[in-house]
Amino acid sequence: MIQLQAACPFLASTLTLDEFGAFRSGRALGAPLDLRLMPGTVLGVVGPNGVGKSSLLSALAQAGVQSYGRVRFGEQDLAGMTSRARASVVSMLAQDLHAPEELRVRELVAVGAHASGSATPESTAERALEAAGVSELSGRRFGALSGGQKQLVQIARVLAQDTPVVIFDEPTSALDLFHQRAVEQTMRRLGNDGKIVIAALHDLSLALNACTQILLLDREGDAHAGPPTDVLRPDLVHAAYGVRTAIHTTPRGRRYLSTE
């Protein structure tokens, strides 16, 4: 068992994976994972295309992907919960950002607010839009948004659900630099609020800065978990991606990864 972060008193709200993994086309993806994620963990799931990052995330969220092993939040097995109960534990930003074109942004975000059982879904939605930095989009049609705006609005939907476990599947894939930084800050803030954030990321520099922990999956089915600078070591990154890299630090303390 790889234990991420020192044992803490919030055992009731830890996310525990026992021999857990996802199936794709009837085949198990990678080695079974044993992880314990404490509140405040921001876990970046990284690895080359096709290793099953998205499948793993969907399996964790019980969102239509078959899985083996167990995933528990506190003592509760996520697979055994009703969908309604699970919606107050796990929320998810999917890669698929699509929504009906004529849907208003605030109505989309309200889906998250309703899932959380909010008594005042409208104001919950407005607050979430504000937290995602896009409150000016509230009255817009979804179809009129740019790709990046769609992603931020969907992130707002997840924030409106306000769950202790938040799953982001490539949250910055459509975003410009400024908004990438905003999402990075959102992820860190969620961690500071005591939530467990799990994000599939392609940008390893982002992973270095946004995450407290990294899970690196490679094509051989091996998994490495630990603090960002330990896992994104040049040798492990090379083994996974076949690319030589180095970690640098800017004068102001921000880390980034360069390729050679």
Partner 1 sequence: MYNIRCVNKQLSRTWLAGLSGLLLLALAAFVSLTLGVVHLTPTQTIQALLRPEDAGITSSAVVWSIRLPRIVVAMLVGSALATVGAVMQAILRNPLAEPGITGVSAGAAVGAVAGITLGLAGSNQWGIPLAAFAGAAIVALVLQTVLRTRRDLGSATIILVGVSISALAGALINLLVANAHDDALVRSALFWLAGDLELRSWEHVLLAAGPILLGLTYLLSRVRALDALALGEQVAATSGISVNRERILLLLVASLVTGAAVAVSGVISFVGLVVPHAVRLVVGASHARLLPISALGGALFLVLADTVARTAFGPVIVQTGVVSALVGAPIFLFLLLRRQPS
CB of 253 to partner 1, least distance (A): 35
**Which of residues 24, 70, 72, 104 is near partner 1 by CB under 8 A?**
104
**Which of residues 115, 200, 206, 232 is near partner 1 by CB under 8 A?**
115
CB of 85 to partner 1, least distance (A): 8
Binding span for partner 1 by CB under 8 A among 6-14, 109-117, 211-219, 220-228: 109-117
Q: Do residues 37 and 6 touch, judged by C-beta distance below 8 A?
A: no
Distance CA 120, CA 117 (A): 9
Using the rule CB under 8 A, is 25 a contact of partner 1? no
250 three-state secondary structure? coil
128 CB contacts (<8 Å, ≥6 apart)? 109, 112, 113, 156, 157, 159, 160
Using the rule CB under 8 A, is 83 a contact of partner 1? yes
Distance CA 260, CA 256 (A): 13
**Which of residues 18, 34, 122, 222 is near partner 1 by CB under 8 A?**
122
Q: Do residues 71 and 49 touch, judged by C-beta distance below 8 A?
A: no
Using the rule CB under 8 A, is 61 a contact of partner 1? yes
CB of 26 to partner 1, least distance (A): 13
Q: List the interface residues with partner 1, window 130-189 (CB under 8 A).
A: 138-139, 141-142, 157, 161, 167
Q: What are the φ/ψ torsions at residue 247 (nearest 5 degrees)?
A: -100, 130
Distance CA 150, CA 112 (A): 15
Using the rule CB under 8 A, is 64 a contact of partner 1? yes
Binding span for partner 1 by CB under 8 A among 34-42, 43-51, 78-86, 203-211: 78-86
CB of 170 to partner 1, least distance (A): 13
State the CB neighbour count (10 A cutoff) for residue 183: 22
193 CB contacts (<8 Å, ≥6 apart)? none
Determine which helix (DSSP H) or strand (DSSP E) holds 204, and give its type and residue range. Answer: helix 204-210
Compare residues 108 and 152 and give the one whose CB is closer to partner 1: 108
Burial of 75 (0-12, 13-18, 19+ CB in 10 A): exposed
Q: Which residues bind partner 1 (CB under 8 A)?
A: 58, 61-64, 82-84, 86-87, 90-92, 94, 96, 98-104, 106-108, 111-112, 114-115, 122, 126, 138-139, 141-142, 157, 161, 167
